[in-house]
Amino acid sequence: MFEFKTIALRGLLAVAISLAALTARDVTAAETATPSTAIHFTFDRPIDASMAPFFLAAKDGSFSNERLNVSFKTAAGSPEALARVAKGDSELALVDINELIRFRDKDDAAPIKAVFVLFDRAPYAIIARRSRGIHLLPDLDGKTVGVADGDLSMRLWPALAQQNGINVSRVKFHKISAAVREPLLSAGQVDAVAGFSYLSAVNLRDRGVPGGDLAVLRYADYGCEAYGFAVVANPAFAATKPDAVKGFVRALIAGVSATVKEPARAADEATSRIDDGDRDLERERLRSVLIDNILTDEVKRNGLGGLDAARLDRSIDQIAQDFKFRKRPAAGDIFDDRFLPPVAGRLIN
């Protein structure tokens, strides 16, 4: 009888130990699987397929693998997105780096820096109708260009015009609402419009303007040195949670790689987040962005996310032709490369 009780107690003890081990393992697994850092991420404009790398990083688990819980919101422009980051309402945001350069010139500006450059070339462009006699940038002489309020591309127009020998007084800029930019050009009420190449050009083709009648005059093709959209970080968050910022960057690189490998899936994922999104339109938009803005020769050589300080300095000089800096920022005031992985981890095929 005693022997039976001993065997029974040993059996119960073994079961208890096993259950305790399983419970501990489950708790450890849960702690590992549960994202520990929340990131409120702001896009500076409505969602489109150019943001697909972020959405694939979320869908494929790249953010959660870095123990990050990332939520997305949109803002009405880079100034609003930067204000959210400055206040700490958003830890990270995607903004036009050229707007960041102007923001940092303010006396009370928070020391926000970019930590990852997504667009190696700014998407600024003049989109014109060939049927109106415009094939190259100098053909804008005597023409009317529709420009929406707050259009960022106009900030670099003086430098671009000077660089290409264009008399700015000979080009008429007509202020318009962004909502009627493409309709006015398709109706022939202006000769060209200023905007982003992957937005206006793709939208115009969707409106029935023949692709052969569109001249997309990209600033980058005419000597503009500007970078484009970049991820910026709240200074306090970057200082106290540098590993979270590094993890976000690694996950985003994975998202870009997945987007390059499967652009149709990436565009479809972005489209699913757009009210009444057009899958074919967003696929074309993403194709344009990858070719013109993200997968440049420089990125293929040097990897994703970084920038060349000398080139950034030259782009700041170009901005200065239309913007009077109180204290001109240096490249180190705008970009912080400490959160990037080594080049080997940023190269893309």
Condensed to tens digits (0 to 9), the pLDDT of residues 206-227 reads 777 788 889 999 999 999 999 9
- Listed range (26-30, 145-149, 291-295, 318-322) with the worst mean pLDDT: 26-30
* Per CATH, domain 124-222 is 3.40.190.10: yes
Structure tokens at 20: 């305790």
C-alpha of 62 from chain center:
17
* CATH fold for the domain made of 37-120+226-345: D-Maltodextrin-Binding Protein; domain 2 (3.40.190)
Mean pLDDT of 6-15: 46
- Which residue spans of the chain are classified as CATH 3.40.190.10? 37-120+226-345, 124-222
Q: What is the CA radius of gyration of the chain?
A: 25
Cβ count within 10 A of residue 17: 10
Indicate whether 16 pLDDT > 70.
no
How does residue 107 score in pLDDT terms, banded at 50, 70 and 90?
A: confident
Q: Are strands 144-148 and 172-176 parallel, antiparallel or unpaired?
A: parallel
In this structure, how many other beta carbons lie within 10 angstroms of the beta carbon of residue 37? 18
Highest mean pLDDT out of 129-133, 174-178, 337-341: 337-341
The runs of H, that is alpha helices, within the chain are 2-33, 52-59, 62-65, 78-87, 97-103, 157-163, 181-186, 202-206, 235-240, 242-261, 263-271, 279-289, 297-302, 309-319, 331-334
Residues 91/233, Cβ–Cβ less than 8 Å: yes
Which of the four pLDDT bands, split at 50, 70 and 90, describes residue 34? low
Collect all residues with Cβ–Cβ distance below 8 Å to 215 and sequence separation of at least 6: 127, 128, 129, 130, 134, 135, 136, 192
pTM: 0.87
The per-residue pLDDT of the chain, averaged, comes to 89
Residues with Cβ within 8 Å of residue 95, at least 6 apart in sequence: 44, 78, 81, 82, 229, 230, 232
pLDDT of 33 higher than 60: no
- Tens-place pLDDT, residues 166-191: 999 999 999 988 888 888 888 889 99
CA 86 to CA 91: how far, in whole Å? 9
Contact between 119 and 228 under an 8 Å Cβ cutoff? The reply is: yes
